[in-house]
Each structure stands twice: as structure tokens, then as C-alpha cells.
Structure 1
Amino acid sequence: MKKLYLAILSLSIIAASGSTFAASVKGGSGQINFMGIINNDACSVDGSTGKDKVISVDMGNVSIKDMGSDTAPNAGRISANDFNLKVNCNAGTKVSMVFKPSLNGGSGLVTGKKVLKLQGSDAAKGVGIALLDSDGAVIDLTSDTTALVTTGLSGEKAAGGDGTLSFAAAYVTTGDATTAVAGTGNATLPFVLQYE
């Protein structure tokens, strides 16, 4: 009888504690998920937005007749659009930048040319985007070697090295301008910072 009484008493205590717990949870419950990546990158680029570090350059509305060619982008009536990338580096870091047009999500190149291909089914035909360095020379995007830009940043200051890289981009015809077809002019050019 004592064993039966103890068993009933134990069950009563368990049932009572369960109902107390259930009574204390009111109004629902949920959770918060935090996601991110902590890195130790020696350099970063200002002006980029979002976790994918996207930098937007507005190329405007350009007529085919006003464009230069892929070999002479500045020969057209419309000059190239200038844009800057501000790079911030840790002290002592030597950095260079390489453009990789065919990296994940990149537009790729116009076949046989040094310029970016336009993306999308409604993209202009016979037109690409030439990337120019700070001297106005076309950057050859066909290989990692020719698409490499040394920055001159070495992070010599105690707080690190900050600097601005200047570029320009221009719509260009990639063949006979009279056969080019109007359309959208969007392209994506991934880049990678390399450190020493």
C-alpha cells in the first residue's frame, strides 16, 4: 500500500509540475536567428552595398551613333563614365585588384574582344562595355594577368592604407556600328582583391 501511495504521490507531483510549466508559457513563443560571417580581410572597398559588396555605376542613356568602338572607346561623342573605388587596407598590406568577368554571375566577354558582354535577353546587340584605367586606356579583361590593377596601396599608415582607384566605363560598339541594335545595357564585372 505504501508503494502504491508513493507512486500516486509521484505522479501527482509530476502532473502538477507539468501543468505549472504549461501555465507559465503564454502568448506563443518564437526565436531569433542571427546570421553573418566574421572575416579577417586585409582590405575592403567602400561604396559597395549589401553583403555581396555590389557597386553600381549608372551608365545613362546613350545612342549607338555616339559611341566609340571597342578599340577606341573615347572616339565617340559621349565620354566614358568615371567612377571610383575607395580601398581601405590594414597596415603593411600590399594590394592589387583583378577583374574577373567570367566569375560567378559575371557577364563574360564579347567573343574575341577585351570588353564586357551585355546581359539579358533584351540587351543591345553589337555593343559592350569597355573598362578604362585612370589614364583612359582600355583594360584588357581577357586574362587575370592583363586584368590586374596594382593599386600602390601598402597600408603604410599606422591605421592602414586608404586610397582611391579611378576607373571609367564606356558603351562601345563591338563590330560594324550600322548593324548594332538598341536594347538594355546591363553588365556585371566581379573583381577580387589580392594581398601580399
Structure 2
Amino acid sequence: VMRNKILSAMVAAGMMMYGASAFALETSVSGGSGTINFTGTVQNGACDIQTPDLKVDFGQVSAHSVQSGKESHPQPFSIQLSDCQLEGLTTAKISKVSVVFNDTHHSGTDKKIIATSGETHVGIKIKSDASGQFLDVMNAVDTAAIDNEIPMTGSNPLLNFTAYLIQNGSDAVVAGTFSATATYTLTYS
């Protein structure tokens, strides 16, 4: 009799534990999943580039404000370098960086204008804040080197530029959307 009571108590306790877990509320709910892609490039340059891909937004611009070959709507942008090793990579201490902007869609004669897409007849010019000069832009047919040198000081230099809209060619600027893509290459000396 005692054995039956103990056995009955164990069966009842087991059923209560199973029953409680079967009716317990879920404490978490699946929220989905995703993928993270990590990319980068290890290069032999003197500095890390903190801002490799930039976006410059001119916003909405009136067609009449971009006429007669005048630069308008200045938009500042910067290339942030860090962890620069200015000594030991070459026989001399690195003191300059040459920045070459490349426009692969333009083969015109004005080496200072980046061509834009669309039929707006605007282009983009880039001025170095260090020199105050508009920079030459490489295009698909250039073979000559371009000298856009900027002095370097410190291990985390900030290369500052200003982009301007300009009428590109003799056709009048017209309303519409435009975009342009340029790559840049840094060379240390």
C-alpha cells in the first residue's frame, strides 16, 4: 500500500511538472534574421582612409543660377585620413599627398569639369581648400599625370575640398535631374 502511494505521488508530480511546462508561455519570439557582409581592402598606402565613399548633395538648384560659366552652389566635402606613417615607407619623409579625381564618362577638353548624367548641361568642378585652386580631373582618354598635391602634416590629416556646379558647354542649363560619379586616387610623396 505504501509503495502504491509513493508510486502514485511520483506519477502525479511528474504529470504536474510536464503539464506546467506544456502550458508555459513562450518567453521569446523569433524576430527574423539577416546577413552582414564585411569587406575592405588592405593597401600599402601611408594612411588609412576613414571616408572612402562620399556623397555630395547639391539639393534643388535653379537653372538660372548655373549660367555663364560661373561656379555656383558650393558644397564642402572632406577625405579624412588617419594613422598616417609619414616616415619609413620611402627614402624621404612623406610630406604631400596628390589627389587625382577620375571621371570615366567624360572626354571633353576642359580638364576641370566632371560630366554629369542627364540633359541639364551642368558639370561639377572641385576646388582644393588647401591651394584655393580648381583641380584637374582625369578622364578616359588622359595619359598625362595630373599634379594636385596637398601638403600633409600630422598623422590624421583632413583633406578639404569644395564642389561647385557649373554650366558644361555652350548649351543653356535646363531643368532636370543630374548625377555624377568620380573616383579618387591618393599618391603620397
TM-score, scaled to structure 2: 0.60
8 A contact 2:127–2:133 mirrored in 1: yes
Partner Cα separation in structure 1 for residue 180 and residue 39 of structure 2: 29
- Return 5+ residue gaps in structure 2 as ranges: 1-36, 88-93
Identity %: 24
Indicate how the Cα distance of structure 1 residues 128 and 37 shifts in structure 2: closer, same or farther if over 3 A, else same: closer
Which residue number in structure 2 is paired with residue 108 of structure 1? 106
What are the residue-to-residue correspondences of 1:63-102 with 2, within 5 Å? 63-67=62-66, 69-70=68-69, 72-73=70-71, 78-88=72-82, 89-92=84-87, 93-102=94-103
Partner Cα separation in structure 2 for residue 131 and residue 61 of structure 1: 19
Q: What is the deviation of 1:36?
A: 5.8
Q: What is the deviation of 1:140?
A: 2.4
Match of 1:184 among 173, 177, 181: 177
Partner Cα separation in structure 2 for residue 84 and residue 34 of structure 1: 24
What are the residue-to-residue correspondences of 1:42-191 with 2, within 5 Å? 42-46=46-50, 48=51, 53-67=52-66, 69-70=68-69, 72-73=70-71, 78-88=72-82, 89-92=84-87, 93-102=94-103, 106-108=104-106, 111-113=108-110, 114-119=112-117, 123-134=118-129, 136-142=132-138, 145-146=145-146, 148-153=147-152, 161-176=155-170, 179-191=172-184
Q: CA RMSD in A?
A: 2.9
Partner Cα separation in structure 1 for residue 58 and residue 188 of structure 2: 30
Partner Cα separation in structure 2 for residue 191 and residue 82 of structure 1: 16
Deviations 1:20-72 (A, max 9, x none): xxxxxxxxxxxxx98765444321222x2xxxx311112211112112554x4
Instruction: Report the secondary structure of 1:79's partner residue.
Output: strand
Indicate how the Cα distance of structure 1 residues 67 and 91 shifts in structure 2: closer, same or farther if over 3 A, else same: same
Deviations 1:135-166 (A, max 9, x none): 543222256644x32221155xxxxx221111
Instruction: Report the secondary structure of 1:65's partner residue.
Output: helix
Partner Cα separation in structure 1 for residue 43 and residue 184 of structure 2: 18
Residue type of the alignment partner of 1:96: V
8 A contact 1:95–1:193 mirrored in 2: no
Indicate how the Cα distance of structure 1 residues 84 and 37 shifts in structure 2: closer, same or farther if over 3 A, else same: closer
- Return 5+ residue gaps in structure 1 as ranges: 1-32, 156-160
8 A contact 1:67–1:172 mirrored in 2: yes
Tell me the number of residue pairs that the alignment of Structure 1 and Structure 2 aligns: 140
